[in-house]
Chain A
């Protein structure tokens, strides 16, 4: 059970730790908490990356470092324009990372390229600062950009071999980064116009989109493509949680962002058969099945509320997740062969989902504890 470190892993770890430390030094107190969350997501995904995807080449390794640096820079920016521009930088590097690591495809449709959502995201976020737009117009552009980032993998999933990066460490980083960006934007820069008519309908639109994705995923018998729909839906779920504008729901969503990213990295859904209990547990955990870290995050975010929009949204999300789980149950899982390789990292992954679930349950019982930690900064 030795720890095998190569040069690229060491360099990436040092890059992440150094950038995190620099971010903590220059950030405002509340920004520092977000820098730490981003550090947890990235370092966690790197830790669970037992297939070495993030360190497969120097280009990939440095791109991950550049994404993290851009994200940390975004979280420490004093203005919303700076935040969006730096985030667009991270999204641009994601496009590059996806294209560089995915297998060759026909390349006939530009919209199926990973650069397409990156470019769209940049144009939307850079336009939101245009002086000719009203606050409502800017808010719509902001939310459109967040939606593009959340729906990122849907652009590439329909191409031949588009499922390749599903449940990969790169996908995990994308899910985690999108979660952090969504929650940071919602809790720090969300304009007040978003709670006014007709923009407040976004609170209904987001769960509706989640439900549509769940229904669409039923059309796929392919577990990997279906999983892309689930992770996309998860990002929308976090966006809805921050739209609810309730403090405890935000804290839960922050834990959900970390749990979501880690679960994608841990799952490795293309390996292992039903015979292998631990493998099945991790796979189900990545779909947020009972007993897992992710499931507790779902429950925690769906806490009861007095707001009618949140009540209705909670109901739609509950139906959405039930639909996803129903799809998982009826999916043809491999019954034999392909036994997953169980290194020490995957053993840790099983333990983390179990302990993490209890930890989250504890936070549900003692919510003040989390507020004290988050409110106090670092």
Chain B
């Protein structure tokens, strides 16, 4: 297989965008079904194409600066999987199928893949900015009037901020290393003589960009209130895609570039004066503490759930930040299960048909009216927090095995997040003085769609070894590349 084969999924997505454009220009305005089917087919095809790339030889670099290894492969699959779930959920949400919304969402997925598989700061940053703009515009496509204008304006201004930071980052890289290619920079860093202040500035900017794109608190200003007004499927889906892309920035641009495998290949050691692993750990620790505190004080359900959903990635980032080979596979495994969690929360919340701006008052007694949807939502939130028997508990367990007192932060995160889920569970089945919404009856197909995701999540938790082992040592899914034994 030619190395150009690596860009086949991106090419498929690009053709899909062109096809949707063609349908938009030449097709019937009322024919939403055709464009929906085209988008679904393109996403499924790209997912299958990406899946087959595990057979390509390990660590392939293209002249254009794309990279393929276990991390980029797994994260790309996670992005494509999540976009497929979003796409099918929109049908159940009965959200309007605006053509420009579909084109923008597909563009966002394409740019997310480009940013994940990129081997250069420069092109990676361009992809991220494009992803940010198309992502915000996707969310804005669900809104109308003045809110839409404000949302898009906010997105553009955020993009400009990233352009400024990214320009400084690239200038510093050019002046310090003469290139923005990540593997070259990593190779150069093994030799002494670089200005420690310039290195520190590059590292800080990388962490800022990664955490901001990821959306973890306190870096979550990129969104504004746009997610509050858009459709639920786009809100969750775009949050997930950005979180995965941000995680990639922190791991690829940060951890991978500024560390190297120790002798024996079981752990990573820093290459710069500032330990990148420790920086990432501090960021993830702050996020792990802030996420549950924010959700416990948030009455708005949508905002609470969207913040809570970042927990698996923050836990994963925390575990990976210890730079140990054994825990790396578990951390990346959590990203895969995160896709199912996002999908479940998305579909179950859609199934409840709660109005926008719903608070805990609307939640009270809802479990008695819509037990199926509420049960699935509660279990998915439990999985997001990291409770057993789901895969997240393995992440918590692996983190606690590390001989460091900072690991208790993840325990506090699970405890506080668990309190939130327990409170939701308690309130869902209680007496209510507020007029509850009428029950929402699900069709048999919808129930099967919901239940199949839940069963998959449950089995990923109890039969965790296949997932873990494949990420640990199998072909291009493995994390061995990080630890230098290729």
Interface residue ranges, A against B (CB under 8 Å): 57-59, 66, 69-70, 73, 81, 85-90, 92-93, 95-96, 99-100, 102, 104-107, 110, 113, 115-116, 118-119, 122-123, 126-127, 129-132
Contacts and interface: CB of A to CB of B under 8 A. Distances in A.
A127 B399 CA distance: 10
B414 A123 contact: yes
B249 to A, nearest CB: 30
B482 interface: no
Interface of B: 365, 367-368, 371-372, 375, 378-379, 382, 387-390, 393-394, 396-397, 400-405, 407-408, 411, 414-415, 418-419, 421-423, 425-431, 458, 461-462
A311 B109 CA distance: 70
A96 B430 CA distance: 13
Given A85-B393, A100-B371, A127 B429 contact: no
Nearest to A119: B418
The 7 closest A-B pairs by CB, nearest first: A89-B389, A115-B422, A107-B430, A88-B388, A113-B426, A131-B403, A89-B388
B415 A123 contact: yes
A110 B424 CA distance: 10
B430 A105 contact: yes
A115 B427 contact: no
With a 10 A CB-CB cut-off, give which of A58, A59, A130 has the most chain B CB atoms.
A130
Given A89-B389, A127-B400, A110 B422 contact: yes
Contact of A96 (B378, B393, B394, B407): B378
Contact of B426 (A59, A92, A110, A130): A110
B425 A126 contact: no
Nearest to A81: B397
A278 B102 CA distance: 69
B372 A59 contact: yes
A169 B79 CA distance: 44
Chain B at the A interface: SS class = helix
A92 B382 CA distance: 9
A131 B431 CA distance: 44
Nearest to B423: A110
Contacts of B461: 89
A90 B402 CA distance: 26
Q: Counting chain A CB atoms within 10 Å of each CB, which of B388, B401, B405, B431 scores highest?
A: B388
B400 A86 contact: no
A96 B400 contact: no
B388 A92 contact: yes
A119 B458 contact: no
A107 B388 CA distance: 24
Contact of A107 (B415, B427, B458): B427
B462 A69 contact: yes
Given A100-B367, A126-B411, A126-B414, A85 B405 contact: no
B394 A57 contact: no
Given A89-B389, A116-B422, A104 B429 contact: yes
Contact of B394 (A85, A102, A123, A132): A85
Contacts of B418: 115, 119, 122-123
Contacts of B431: 104-107
Nearest to B427: A107
Contacts of A129: 397, 400-401
Nearest to B432: A104
Contacts of A57: 371
Contacts of A69: 462
A91 to B, nearest CB: 8
A200 B400 CA distance: 27
A96 B425 contact: yes
Contacts of B430: 104-107
